């Protein structure tokens, strides 16, 4: 029996609807949460991401503004911009779109963001709050993973969870959130011995490696929940054949690949659907939750910064 597909688009839409209702309540009190996005230069992929974030702000009812300093900006110039945004009361969240140009000290720029406005959840103060189970702003993709599990009624407490990938953005905070929810957590990486055997212990397997289709059926315990965080572009016909050349259910994807010469796939091989109990698709799984949780963090920051007592609807 094929795995249950965990529909990230529906869950993200539910969260956005709840946030829109909360923003209306805040507006009645004279407050409109505000998000400032800083996009340096002209990185086409970053521009697409930012457009999606600005559109989401409009749908939820948030105020948003975009700052586009030139590619030649210095670290000092960007820090000055961040400090100005920190001072502005109508800005509740600040997002610095990565990557920054090579001449810029990215860590210094990110550290300049007020932790109370750090809607990406990257500031060391928010990392510390997460690790000590205190209230702070949590990185959006890991927070989205937890929403998928919670809203899909997948138990976490007492379960064995394995996270493949130890990045500061996804792997580490995802492991911390699962641990805080009383799962038994193992975080794997490139030096992990017998990775498939470790992954097969998991009741909940989170794949965040950045390698197309690396997690095959040999990694998955029958009936496990598999969360695929990867987003990889496949253009090589031989690689496409390895991933999608078998079952007829991929015929539509084959047609699209032949027409466009490319397709998106996560870190999980399509064959895992035959083994797992539940699985997030790519696209349409974790991705939509990342932007939804950015909206959530902006509303949460506004609620705290402006002292508004409105029950959090998204969690």
The answer to whether 116 and 98 have CB atoms below 8 angstroms apart is: no
Which residues have C-beta within 8 Å of that of residue 236, sequence separation ≥ 6? none
Which of 120, 203, 228, 267 is catalytic? The answer is 120
How many residues appear in the chain?
Answer: 315
Q: Which residues of 39-64 are buried (b: 16+ CB within 10 A; e: fewer)?
A: bbbebeebeebbeebeebbeebbbbb
236 is catalytic: no
159 is catalytic: no
The DSSP bridge pattern shows strands 263-265 and 4-5 to be: unpaired
* DSSP bridge partners of 162: 186, 205
Which of 92, 97, 114, 228 is catalytic? The answer is 97
Which of 53, 172, 221, 300 is catalytic? The answer is 53
Nearest to 165 by CA among 88, 229, 79, 243: 229
Q: Quick one: CA dihedral 222, 228, 232, 233, positive or negative?
A: positive
Distance, in Å, from the CA atom of 78 to the CA atom of 104, rounded to the nearest integer, reads 8
218 is catalytic: no
Active site residues: 53, 97, 120
């Amino acid at each position: 029996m094929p795995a249950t597909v965990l529909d990230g688009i529906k869950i993200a839409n539910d969260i956005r609807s709840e946030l829109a209702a909360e923003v209306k309540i805040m507006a009645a009190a004279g407050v409109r949460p505000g998000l400032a996005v800083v996009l340096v230069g002209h990185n086409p992929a970053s521009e697409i991401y930012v457009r999606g974030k600005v559109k989401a702000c409009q749908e939820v009812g948030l105020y948003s503004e975009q700052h586009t300093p030139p590619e030649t900006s210095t670290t000092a110039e960007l820090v000055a911009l961040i400090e100005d945004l920190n001072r502005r009361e109508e800005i509740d969240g600040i997002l610095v779109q990565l990557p920054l140009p090579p001449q810029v000290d990215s860590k210094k720029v990110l550290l300049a963001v007020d932790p109370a406005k750090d809607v990406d959840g990257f500031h060391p103060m928010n990392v510390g709050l997460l690790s000590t189970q205190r209230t702070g702003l949590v990185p959006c993709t890991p927070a989205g993973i937890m929403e998928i599990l919670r809203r899909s009624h997948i138990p976490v407490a007492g379960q064995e969870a394995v996270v493949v990938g130890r990045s500061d953005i996804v792997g580490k905070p995802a492991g911390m959130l699962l641990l805080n929810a009383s799962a038994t957590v193992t975080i794997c990486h490139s030096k992990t011995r017998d990775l498939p055997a470790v992954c097969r212990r998991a009741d909940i397997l989170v794949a965040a490696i950045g390698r197309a289709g690396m997690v095959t059926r040999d990694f998955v315990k029958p009936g496990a929940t598999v969360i695929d965080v990867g987003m990889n572009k496949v253009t090589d016909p031989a690689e496409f054949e390895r991933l999608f050349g078998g079952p007829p259910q991929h015929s539509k994807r084959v047609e699209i690949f032949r027409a466009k010469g490319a397709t998106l796939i996560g870190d999980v091989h399509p064959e895992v659907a035959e083994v797992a109990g539940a699985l997030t698709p790519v696209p349409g799984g974790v991705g939509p939750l990342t932007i939804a949780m950015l909206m959530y963090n902006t509303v949460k920051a506004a609620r705290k910064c402006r002292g508004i007592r409105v029950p959090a609807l998204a969690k």
